[in-house]
Amino acid sequence: MQNLINQTTVLENTWQIVSDYEDDLPQGNILVDAQYWLENKDTLATRKGVSLILSGDTDLESLSADLSGFEVIAVNFPAFADGRGYSLARLLKERYGFQGEIRAIGDVLLDQLYFMKRCGFDTFLLKDGLEAEKALKFFDTFSDPYQLAYDIQTPLFRRKA
């Protein structure tokens, strides 16, 4: 089973990831691929609880007009070593002003949680089998990092001054 957490606690997952687009879409809150959204925007906009899954090659510019309407945006890590999601999360929050929740999904492991948090991820759908309690300890690996990012918006050299 996959645990959903934020930086401090275990959460209930109310968003379902749609993987099969052939059948009718499930009821309740759903996350759909950005491409599917762009192609079916008119129909999807009539229903509540629809949000996006971004992948590494998603062009944020094509979605910019829609972003503010989403409650949650999921960024998919097809493999934990694919680091595009870090840039996407920062751009969503720092460039496009997205104020909702950014959720990491896919190959979400423990040792990357700290970097994800720094880049603006709010929630983390852990890879199947990873313990939520254990994961909560991975958000404060480093107490005072050098760089600015989403979480700390000035670099260390300005903070020290």
Name the site residues for another protein (rule: CB under 8 A): 56, 80-84, 86-88, 90, 95, 109, 111-112, 114-116, 118-119, 141-149, 153-158, 160-161
Q: How far is the CB of 27 from another protein (least distance, A)?
A: 35
Which CB sits closer to another protein, 49 or 114?
A: 114
How far apart are CB 69 and another protein at their closest, in Å? Answer: 23
Inter-CA distances, 11 with 32, 86, 123, 125, Å: 21, 22, 9, 10
CA separation, residue 158 to residues 39, 113, 115, 130 (Å)? 45, 25, 20, 37
> C-beta of 22: minimal distance to another protein in Å?
27
| Closer CB to another protein, 103 or 118, in the complex | 118
| Contact indicator for 144, 156 with CB cutoff of 8 Å | yes
Cβ(108)–Cβ(127) below 8 Å: yes
Q: Which is nearer to another protein, 25 or 127 (CB)?
A: 127
Q: How far is the CB of 62 from another protein (least distance, A)?
A: 14
Q: Which is nearer to another protein, 18 or 148 (CB)?
A: 148
- At closest approach, how far in Å is the CB of 158 from another protein? 6
In whole angstroms, give the CA distance from residue 30 to residue 19. 10
Q: Helix, strand, or coil here: 127?
A: coil
- Three-state secondary structure call for residue 113: helix
